[in-house]
Structure 1
Amino acid sequence: MPKFPAYLLSLIVSMFLLTLAPMAAAQTAPATGGAAQASQSSAPPPEKIAELIKLLDDPDVRNWIQSRPADATAEAQREATLEVESLEAEARSRFHALRAALPRVHSEIAAAAARVHQQASERGFAPALFLVLGIVCVGAVIEWLFRRAASRAKFQSAVLTRAYVEFGPLIVFTVVATLIFMAIDWPPLVRVVVLYALLAVIAYRLFMGLCRLSLETGGMTQFQYARIRIFAAVFTLGFALWAMCRRLGVDSDVRADIVYLFSAALFLIALEAIWRRPADRNGNPPTRATNILASLYLVLLWLLWCINFTGLFWIGIYAVVLPRLLSGADRVTRAFALTRWNEDNANTPRMVLLLRGVRAIIIVLALGWLGLTWHYNPNIIARDNPYLQTLVYGVFKSAVVLLIVDLAWQLAKSYIDRKLTPAADELSVSADEAARRARLRTLLPIFRNALAAVLICIAAMTILAEMGVQIGPLIAGAGIFGVAIGFGSQTLVKDIVSGVFYLMDDAFRVGEWIESGSYNGVVESFSLRSIRLRHHRGSVFTVPFGELGAIRNGSRDWTVDKFRVRVPFKTDIAKVGKLAKEIGKQLQEDPELGPHIIKTLKMKGVEQIGEFGIEISFGFTAKPDGEQTAIRRRAYTMITQAFAENDISFAQPTFQVGGEEKEAAAAAMYKRQADAAALAAAAEGGKE
């Protein structure tokens, strides 16, 4: 589905006006109908009730009732047909009434204005327009003085400074206008005009301040801001006029025509913005198909409002506006955090609370308004159907549950991710602290997965319960199903239980080198049932916990590395010991390898006397961080160089051949050389 333009955000403001008139009209009709029903419904005498019960117990009557299902169905169909005809007649009557009231719009407004002017003159007040302008001028002067006095106020956050510039003077203006309005004893009609005019001015300024803040942080473009400004001006004017007419005694049909006229103007503004919008942020111009689909969607929303399906209307508005509103709120929130705390990482608990909290507030307000419009929806299908009511309010409550679960999950996830990230002081901490952090990095991924599963189950069960589903049988069935699965998956259960006990015993941690049977490598990660080992040659072993068995951990506390060197029988062993001691001292002072050595290299002594030399053992103790191999290689190199500088050779196997055997061997060698020469000559002759 093509992406709708972001400036449809303005629809959520405009259609607020459009919902007020139908809701107000709907609240008067049920009251009259309810009074009529109350007057007509009187309890029948007990004797008639007893007689009716007696007749229903009669077998003939019961048989006659059971034999009439076809007639009852036909009657229901006839009633449904009559209901459709009644709805059509009501709609036609409403349309004719609105069309007849259209020519009276100007005269009704003029008459209401004359009544206001007459009442103001009789009480010694100026015309209402001048009164509104006077209050606005006084508030503007006080606001200007406030701007001059507080112009040098700066905040650490640029977004806070901008918000202060936008809303600080507006708050001062609102306070001043409220004080003036409350201090004067207005005539009733003049009070209505001044009240709604001031509310319209304040609401317009508040909304445009939010738009300018969004424009400053990149939440909307200049084109969108210009169209929304026109849209908001028309909307506030229409809202103020409709509210005034409602209290000034203007005919209800005329008020409805005013609402429809302003809604048509708002519709045309939005339609013009759809077809004249520029390219998006990526430079892609809008396509004709996208414009057509957006226009049709706009027409559909307007028709939904016209037929009083306000619930569906607002759902359609939210489908387009809410994602963009949340995106704009995220931009403003991130800009605030960046300028206030110099923090752009969205994975910290503070940023999670800020971002998700702002999102939750917006969604809850949207759901609250949707629930309010649904509750006051005059359409009987949407209001009086108990199953639909249960489903709708279940959706509202489920959305709140999902918001709470999402916030809990994001907070837990951010905390776990921070703990899994290596700290800057990882190499300078003590051994106990390093072990504790390694254990946390081992256990936290499993805890994160388990927490996600628990939260999903809780959310799913709560949502089903709010939708009216009885979850007791589901829980009982899940228990029985779990027992059956447990019997059929004993190997899986064995793997999971074995993994739990391995973790309780702290047998391994992420990053440690272990060996189990034919598997060895560094622990990369593990799940509930298996462990991933990275071999030093690059291959990865995924081993179920149930197959590990005994584990050899080579990354705990310290490791001892031993190797042997063969020297001739005549070698000075004491000299070799001194050389080993000097080499160990050099290794200890090495800036790269020294920090990894616990006990430096030294000669252990003669291990055994072989057939062609003496085997001398060397050894050192190092940290189990994988650097012992590099230390051993450096030790080999330094021992080779030291032996060469001190005329010490390595033992090599030698063979001695006796006299006759020596001559026989020489004769055999000469014979083989002669045979090889003859074969070579024959091969050359064959080629020629």
Structure 2
Amino acid sequence: MRALPLMLGWLLVVLLALAGPAQAQPAETDGQTANATLANLLENEETRQQLIEQLRGMAEASAAEPPPEEAPTASLPRQLAEITSRVANDIGGQLGNALDVLRTMGSGDLDSTFDMEAFTSATINLGLVILATLVLFLAFRRTAKPLFTNISQWSLNGEGLTPVLRLIICVALAALVDVLIVALAYLGGNLLATFAIGETGELSTRASLFLNAFLVIELLKAGVRMLFASRYEGLRLLPITSDEAAYWNRWIARLIGLIGYGLMVVVPGINVYISPALGQSVGTLIMFGAFIYAVAVVMKNRLRLRDAIDNKARQATMAASRVSLQLFARTWHLFALAYFVMVLVVTLTRPVDALPFVLFATLKTIAAVVVGLLLSSFLTQTIGRRINLSDDLRRKLPMLEARLNSYVPNALRVIRTVILALVVMLVLNAWGAFDLAAWYASESGSNLVGKLISVAVILVFAIGVWLALASLIEHKLNPETGSGTPSARAMTLLTLFRNALAIALVTITLMIVLAEIGINIGPLIAGAGVLGLAIGFGAQKLVQDIITGVFIQVENAMNTGDVVTVGGVTGTAERLSIRSVGIRDLNGTYHIVPFSSVDTVSNYMREFGYHVGEYGIAYRESIDDAIIALREAFDELAADEEHKMSILAPLEVAGVIALADSSVNIRVRIKTTPGTQWSTGRAYNRLVKLHFDAKGIEIPFPHTTLYFGVGKEGEAPPANLRVMQQPFDIDGRPGGQPRSGESSRAGEEDPRSKPNPEFKGDFDED
């Protein structure tokens, strides 16, 4: 980016123009004569009394005269025209005086006042002072080069601090060393000029002018090196490449040297040895040259700098910053040209009082912008760094790290915006467009600052309370900490409490902030009450949802993860709020059931569950054998590793519950842990089928009757059947052959075929 270096270069030029006596004025002989005459009058008592009386008479006459009418204020175009005319006249007069001086020098009229021998001697002595001072300075710089290299390397590769903090510390150290080098060279030059060059023990005016100019110019160059540091990447404050830094450092250093030594050494020398008029003209030409140079640099780099600022805008994370940078990219050269024109006009029209104002305003602007850039860079790097908590704290509070990485960057972005606003206010204050001190001392300013600080404290406190309470709730919900895995009721209630806490904190914080900034929240609360009453009448269903939901939670009717039937929908409760319940059914469909439509909550996950099975056998099968097969299937299920932990009690056999049309129905029941009754039932059904098949027990199923006959037309032949002569018993088996598993001893009964005596009353009536 080249805008900031360009503006800094121009500001340093202005500083050099003000650092020394650019224009030496001749002694005013008439003023000295008038002062001497006034002193003589005051020493004589008689003349002093007469003077007093004359002054009193003039005062009375002035009081008796009517006040003069105020001249109408000239319009802005007229004022600009007058300023332009005055500047043109001044410049024309200066050029005319310079031409007269040159004409006089050409004619030889100045030979009587110009001492060539003294001029030659002074030039030689000054050249020796300049040479000695520059040699000392270059020697000190070369000696300190390894120190600068080490400081730069630590800034780039050091550890323990953020890059911005390391950069600031290293730049400060390098600047201190640079200032010490300049001071040592200045001191050495003074010693040489006093004791080794010219008359011993005296410091000539010419040498003093150069040494003072050297001190000011090299200190300014040190400031430029602090910004660019073309040779040391770790000591460069501005985020630009080495080539860009070398470009701006080289041209600004040349500009500083040319204008600084010209205005602070050459112009005073011309004033002393030739003519003040010529020196003033040379100073004006130098300022015009600087202005033309600055305009040329601006126009040369206008497009390139616009593209660089656009790239920065695309990297911005905040929309306001992005839009501001894009607007500045297209208008920066206009601001720069306006600034250069203003400085030139002020330099030419009001050199006595305006230039110091421009100087200090510019320096304040540079300081505010540089400090703001450093703080912004520090905050940007801090925002970009992820906050990492310890493993133990992350295990106990899994959501705390995510919250901190969400809240802290946003807070730092707000702080960066505040810094930007403060920099803008400081810049406006520096140029007189805004009196920051007076505004802060005023009642409105102090109240605004106090309110902003109070609001910031309130927000920080509210966020801290939320983080503490939310972390405490998560600590209770975390199965790895606290008292172990929380119950479903605890999880539901704590989750609802966390949501209610968030709503309450936001509402209370908003009310306190509004009250702090001066908004009367009494009517707001009253209006909210009336609005709530209107909503209560218009949204009775919503109120009913909330009230029913509160009682459902208080009675612990269901929790997240329970299998329930609510509002005619059966499934797993995935989400519970104060108003509704979200249920996922067996098909994966997600249902939201408002509590106002809930009449009954059927929860299948309380304490235990039952698998109730009804198994039908054919009328020709033995009921006792079927019950034995059912018990054997249960025994095998209870021995299975996968299901034995889910069974809480022995098999309950209710017995025959119905003599249906085609089957005899037998009911059994298995007590299981809550939620496992369905899987246990599926496994038991499989085993029952296997055991029935092994024992040859038929499970009835629908039968189809086939009719073999002749149609009306006689087209189908009849089916002939042959009857076997072997006798069969009533069950279809050969006579006297026992069934599989049937005892051959008549009258003997298996005890496993009996129902449970203690089971009476569960399904049977007395």
TM class by shorter chain equals 0.5 to 0.7
**Aligned partner of residue 216 in structure 2, secondary structure:** helix
**Paired letter, 1:199:** G
Confirm or deny: 8 A CA contact 1:196 1:244 kept in the other structure.
no
Q: Is 1:606–2:654 an aligned residue pair?
A: yes
Quickly say closer, same or farther: Cα 1:292–1:633, change in 2 above 3 A. Answer: closer
Confirm or deny: 8 A CA contact 2:476 2:483 kept in the other structure.
no
Confirm or deny: 8 A CA contact 2:653 2:668 kept in the other structure.
yes
Confirm or deny: 8 A CA contact 2:610 2:672 kept in the other structure.
yes
**Paired letter, 2:249:** A
Give the share of equivalent positions with the same residue, in percent: 14
Quickly say closer, same or farther: Cα 1:507–1:21, change in 2 above 3 A. Answer: farther
**Paired letter, 2:224:** A
Q: Is 1:298–2:347 an aligned residue pair?
A: no
Match for 1:584 among 625, 638, 644?
A: 638
State the match for 2:144 in structure 1.
139
State the match for 2:422 in structure 1.
368
Confirm or deny: 8 A CA contact 2:560 2:574 kept in the other structure.
yes
Q: Distance in 1 between matches of 2:510 and 2:168?
A: 41
Q: Distance in 1 between matches of 2:90 and 2:690?
A: 107
Q: Distance in 2 between matches of 1:635 and 1:260?
A: 100
Where does 1:636-651 land on structure 2 (aligned, <5 Å)?
Answer: 636-650=685-699
C-alpha displacement of 1:239: 10
Higher relative contact order (CA 8 A, sep 6+): 1
**Paired letter, 1:233:** N
Q: Distance in 1 between matches of 2:496 and 2:412?
A: 33
Aligned length: 546
State the match for 2:722 in structure 1.
none
State the match for 2:300 in structure 1.
268
Where does 1:155-554 land on structure 2 (aligned, <5 Å)?
Answer: 155=159, 170=171, 172-177=173-178, 189-205=213-229, 209=233, 225=241, 229=245, 233=249, 237=253, 258=290, 261-262=293-294, 265-266=297-298, 268-274=300-306, 296-302=330-336, 334=384, 348-349=402-403, 351-352=405-406, 355-356=409-410, 359-360=413-414, 362-379=416-433, 405=459, 430-432=484-486, 436-437=490-491, 439-452=493-506, 465=517, 470-472=518-520, 475-490=521-536, 491=540, 492-496=542-546, 499=549, 508-525=558-575, 529-548=579-598, 551-554=601-604
**Aligned partner of residue 229 in structure 1, secondary structure:** helix
Q: Distance in 1 between matches of 2:498 and 2:576?
A: 11
Mark the runs of 5 or more structure 1 residues left unpaired by the alignment: 1-6, 26-77, 105-113, 216-223, 283-290, 656-664, 680-688
Q: Distance in 1 between matches of 2:695 and 2:238?
A: 79
Q: Distance in 2 between matches of 1:329 and 1:207?
A: 27
Deviation by residue 1:459-506 (Cα, 9 ceiling, x = unmatched)? 6666xx3xxxx512xx23322321221221112455445555655666
Confirm or deny: 8 A CA contact 1:238 1:259 kept in the other structure.
no
Confirm or deny: 8 A CA contact 2:654 2:667 kept in the other structure.
yes
State the match for 2:667 in structure 1.
616
Quickly say closer, same or farther: Cα 1:87–1:634, change in 2 above 3 A. Answer: farther
Deviation by residue 1:61-96 (Cα, 9 ceiling, x = unmatched)? xxxxxxxxxxxxxxxxx97x8454566457746975
Quickly say closer, same or farther: Cα 1:11–1:147, change in 2 above 3 A. Answer: closer
Deviation by residue 1:294-335 (Cα, 9 ceiling, x = unmatched)? 864334544675798x99xx99xx9xxx99x98997578646
C-alpha displacement of 1:564: 1.4
C-alpha displacement of 1:643: 3.0
C-alpha displacement of 1:352: 4.4
Quickly say closer, same or farther: Cα 1:428–1:383, change in 2 above 3 A. Answer: closer
State the match for 1:3 in structure 2.
none
Q: Distance in 2 between matches of 1:641 and 1:236?
A: 98
Q: Distance in 1 between matches of 2:78 and 2:624?
A: 122
**Paired letter, 1:533:** I
State the match for 2:66 in structure 1.
none
C-alpha displacement of 1:446: 4.6
Quickly say closer, same or farther: Cα 1:390–1:553, change in 2 above 3 A. Answer: farther
C-alpha displacement of 1:582: 1.8
Quickly say closer, same or farther: Cα 1:178–1:15, change in 2 above 3 A. Answer: closer
Bigger share in helix = 1
Confirm or deny: 8 A CA contact 1:128 1:194 kept in the other structure.
no
Deviation by residue 1:623-645 (Cα, 9 ceiling, x = unmatched)? 54xx6534432332233223323
Deviation by residue 1:542-576 (Cα, 9 ceiling, x = unmatched)? 344444465444456x4413221325423253453
Confirm or deny: 8 A CA contact 2:611 2:670 kept in the other structure.
yes
**Paired letter, 1:633:** R
TM-score by length of structure 2 reads 0.52
Quickly say closer, same or farther: Cα 1:486–1:644, change in 2 above 3 A. Answer: same
Moved more, 416-425 or 630-639: 416-425
Q: Distance in 1 between matches of 2:579 and 2:253?
A: 66
**Paired letter, 1:265:** V
Quickly say closer, same or farther: Cα 1:273–1:23, change in 2 above 3 A. Answer: closer
Confirm or deny: 8 A CA contact 1:234 1:266 kept in the other structure.
no
Confirm or deny: 8 A CA contact 1:174 1:202 kept in the other structure.
yes
Quickly say closer, same or farther: Cα 1:84–1:174, change in 2 above 3 A. Answer: closer
TM-score by length of structure 1 reads 0.56
Confirm or deny: 8 A CA contact 2:574 2:584 kept in the other structure.
yes
Q: Distance in 2 between matches of 1:372 and 1:335?
A: 30
**Paired letter, 2:692:** F
Confirm or deny: 8 A CA contact 1:353 1:407 kept in the other structure.
no
Q: Distance in 1 between matches of 2:141 and 2:591?
A: 76
